[in-house]
Amino acid sequence: MVAKFAGIGETLEKRSDNAITAVTGYFLLASGTILLTSNGTNHATMWPADALILALLLKNDRASWPAVLMAGWMANLLANAVTRDWAPGLIVYGGINMGQTLLAAMLICRTGRCDNLLADIGTVLRFVLYAGVIAPLLGALTGTLATALIFGEPVLSSFVRWYISNALGFLILTPFLMALFDGSYVRCFKERTPASRLEVIGLHALHIALTGTVFAQNVVPMLFLPVSTALILAFRLGRLGVIVGTLAIAIIGAAATYMGHGPVSLVRGGVEVQEFVFQFYIAVVLATTLPVAATVSSRAEALKNLAEREEALRLMMAHSPDGILSFDATGVCRWADGPLAAYLGVDAGAMIGKPLDALALRAPGLASRIIERKDALSDTPTIFEFSPVLRPHLTLEASLAAPQQNGSAVGTVVTLRDVTKRKAKEVAMRSKVHGDDLTGLLNRAGFRKKLRTALLDEGRPATLALVDVDCFRSINETYGHGVGDTVLAEIAKRLQAATRADDIVARMGGDEFAILLRCDLETAMRVCQRMVEAVRETSVVNDGVVSVLASISCGIAAYGGNMDRDDVFDAADAALQEAKRRGRGGVRVAA
């Protein structure tokens, strides 16, 4: 609750400050302008006071607008009452001025940016249209009617004077005041280096001195010179430089013209014509410099954003596990970042400017894929895994994408990620799925998969052996399942020890084992006889308390070209059953 009341108090204080600024600033600007550029009955040459109200409206939320508009109306009435002959109709002036200002603010805020009126060309055009054309045009129509009724001024000249003076006031002073209110000038000056600050001061001093020199004489009409320095300000300093530069031209030129000095005084036709010429000149200056300032500022902002993004990308890459390589259409590396030294054995900076040959020495498979991918127009990236030459213990995942421009590939972007741990987990998972927890051998599913692959290799002989532990049920019943599990684990070890490196041993379930022997039937018989002897010759369990002897029966069948996997299993199983019928503890060959 306390915070809520504090927020309300802060809002009221802000609105009060805005109202005080509006009253004070408007009165001073309006009074000074009327005294310097009006005869007391006609409109001023340039009307900057409404620009103050417009700037306050654009920088504040709409809830603050009524207080600002009311303060501006009061200041307008006070300024007119002090500087002109009093007439009740002066009340109307304030209403017209506030009405056109409110219209300009509503149009600008409805269709474009309010915080930066010179952000880009589109924003400038909207600002010029609403604040420089539509709002002052409607104000001029009603203001001319009021002036004709109150002071009897001619309609045409009054209309032109009102329109131009209000339009120039809006266009020149509004951006300046908004930048002043939001601290842009101070912030911009502080952010510059000492050398850049000297440049800012020097360029503005040059512009003011040149403008003062041009308007201090009425011999040579060199009105183009201030425009030239204003353009220099636009190119070097952007929108803030143009705002100050144009304002300097307006103030110096208006003061000189009012006192009868400067090139504009050479124009024949009297003071009123000279004022119109000066207004037209300021309009030309604005039309010349504002688009340039908007373009320069938008590009500067874009470059700043790009630099910020590049720095953010650099920081992300510095802490990212991914490595990135970018190759142009000719195969030259244009950009590299990330832990490439840990992945490929070469620093990222050393890869920049190098051709694909440099990558081929460290990752030949990756280089060949890049060559294949460089002309591809598919949006789908190519993803594959490889091990680099200098880091063979690593498994890297490469993602290749081809950026496109005008419908053609312009290079290849490669993203590298270390997936060594993930691959190890996948292998472990596959091993767990196809492995037997008790013995560590393959299980039924794993063995059948291996057998399917082996039988496709017709160039090598294959023999299947099926093994049963004799009288295993009685072992479980006599000694318990714990001892039974120990028996199975020990028999699995002896079966593996009796076979060769390329033979495959698996536990099919219970007390059943299967062995794929990559040899002919005669050799397989000798291997199986060795397995039978290895189990029978010593106790499979002997812990000092329990001693268990065991034996195994084995049936073998050779794989023939006209057999499938089920056929060879059936033949080996038939041989196993025959071995059991003949007394167990032996080897039988399928008929």
In this structure, whether the domain defined by 434-589 belongs to CATH 3.90.1150.10 is answered with no
Say how far apart CA 578 and CA 483 lie, in whole Å.
Answer: 28
Task: Indicate the residue type of 262.
Answer: G
Domain ranges of the chain: 1-182, 184-317, 320-423, 434-589
Q: Is the pLDDT of residue 547 over 90?
A: no
Burial of 34 (0-12, 13-18, 19+ CB in 10 A): buried
Q: Which residues fall within 8 angstroms of residue 134, CB to CB, at 6 or more apart?
A: 103, 104, 107
Q: Quick one: DSSP state of residue 62? A: G
The predicted pLDDT at position 2 comes to 43
Place of tokens 């052996």: 465
Nearest to 11 by CA among 67, 55, 51, 76: 67
Say how far apart CA 465 and CA 570 lie, in whole Å.
Answer: 11
Place of tokens 């039978």: 532
Q: Which ranges in 38-85 belong to alpha helices (H)?
A: 49-59, 65-83
Q: What is the pLDDT of the chain when averaged over all its residues?
A: 83
Using left for φ > 0, alpha for ψ between -120 and 50, and beta otherwise, residue 7 falls in alpha
Render pLDDT for 207-245 as a digit per residue (tens, 0 to 9). 999 999 999 988 888 888 998 998 898 888 888 888 889
DSSP H or E segment with residue 282: helix 271-318
Say how far apart CA 24 and CA 343 lie, in whole Å.
Answer: 68
Say how far apart CA 139 and CA 464 lie, in whole Å.
Answer: 103
HSE-CB at 185 with a 13 A cutoff on CA atoms is 14
Q: Which residues fall within 8 angstroms of residue 469, CB to CB, at 6 or more apart?
A: 475, 487, 488, 491, 511, 550, 551, 552
Give buried/exposed letters for 494-531 (b at 16+ CB in 10 A, else e): bbeebbeeebbbbbbeebbbbbbbbbeeeebbebbeeb
Render pLDDT for 339-393 as a digit per residue (tens, 0 to 9). 888 888 888 888 888 888 888 888 888 888 878 766 665 667 888 888 888 888 8
- Compute φ and ψ for 163, nearest 5 degrees: -60, -50
- Strand-pair partners of 227: none
Tell me the percentage of the chain whose pLDDT exceeds 70.
Answer: 91
Q: Is the pLDDT of residue 136 over 50?
A: yes
Q: Please give the residue that has the higher pLDDT: either 230 or 121.
A: 230
Say how far apart CA 396 and CA 416 lie, in whole Å.
Answer: 6
Q: Is the pLDDT of residue 410 over 90?
A: no
Tell me the percentage of the chain whose pLDDT exceeds 90.
Answer: 19
When mean pLDDT is compared across 34-48, 291-305, 530-544, the lowest value belongs to 34-48
- Strand-pair partners of 442: 435, 506
DSSP 3-state of 352 = coil
CA distances from 465 to 468, 518, 557, 567, 571 (A): 10, 11, 7, 13, 10
Nearest to 532 by CA among 510, 513, 547: 513
Q: Which ranges in 217-270 belong to alpha helices (H)?
A: 224-237, 239-258
Do 1-182 and 320-423 fold alike per CATH?
no
Q: Which residues fall within 8 angstroms of residue 278, CB to CB, at 6 or more apart?
A: 45, 253, 254, 257, 264
Give buried/exposed letters for 89-107 (b at 16+ CB in 10 A, else e): ebebbbebbbbbbbbbbeb
Q: Which residues fall within 8 angstroms of residue 174, CB to CB, at 6 or more apart?
A: 51, 54, 55, 58, 117, 127, 131
Nearest to 145 by CA among 99, 92, 207: 92
Q: Specify whether the CB–CB gap between 246 and 238 falls below 8 A.
A: no
Render pLDDT for 73-113 as a digit per residue (tens, 0 to 9). 999 888 888 887 766 777 887 888 899 999 999 998 887 66
Q: Quick one: DSSP state of residue 252? A: H
Q: Is the pLDDT of residue 584 over 70?
A: yes
CA distances from 98 to 58, 177, 443 (A): 14, 17, 89
Say how far apart CA 556 and CA 525 lie, in whole Å.
Answer: 8
The predicted pLDDT at position 557 comes to 92
Nearest to 51 by CA among 25, 32, 14: 25
**Token pair recorded at residue 220:** 């040579």
HSE-CB at 222 with a 13 A cutoff on CA atoms is 15
Q: How many whole angstroms from its chain centre is CA 105?
A: 33
Q: Specify whether the CB–CB gap between 146 and 158 falls below 8 A.
A: no
Q: Please give the residue that has the higher pLDDT: either 315 or 513.
A: 513
Instruction: With 0.75 as the threshold, say if the pTM is over it.
Output: no
**Token pair recorded at residue 371:** 């060559």
Q: Given pLDDT bands bounded at 50, 70 and 90, which one contains residue 313?
A: low
Q: Specify whether the CB–CB gap between 325 and 360 falls below 8 A.
A: no
Q: Is the pLDDT of residue 512 over 90?
A: yes
Task: Indicate the residue type of 457.
Answer: D
Task: Indicate the residue type of 128.
Answer: V
In this structure, whether the domain defined by 1-182 belongs to CATH 1.10.357 is answered with no
Render pLDDT for 13-68 as a digit per residue (tens, 0 to 9). 777 888 888 899 989 988 888 787 666 556 566 788 999 999 999 988 888 899 99
Q: Is the pLDDT of residue 139 over 80?
A: yes
- The fold for domain 320-423 equals Beta-Lactamase (3.30.450)
* DSSP state letters, 466-529: EEEETTHHHHHHHH-HHHHHHHHHHHHHHHHHHS-TT-EEEEEETTEEEEEESS-HHHHHHHHH
In 323-393 the beta strands, taken as DSSP E runs, fall at 323-328, 333-337, 382-386
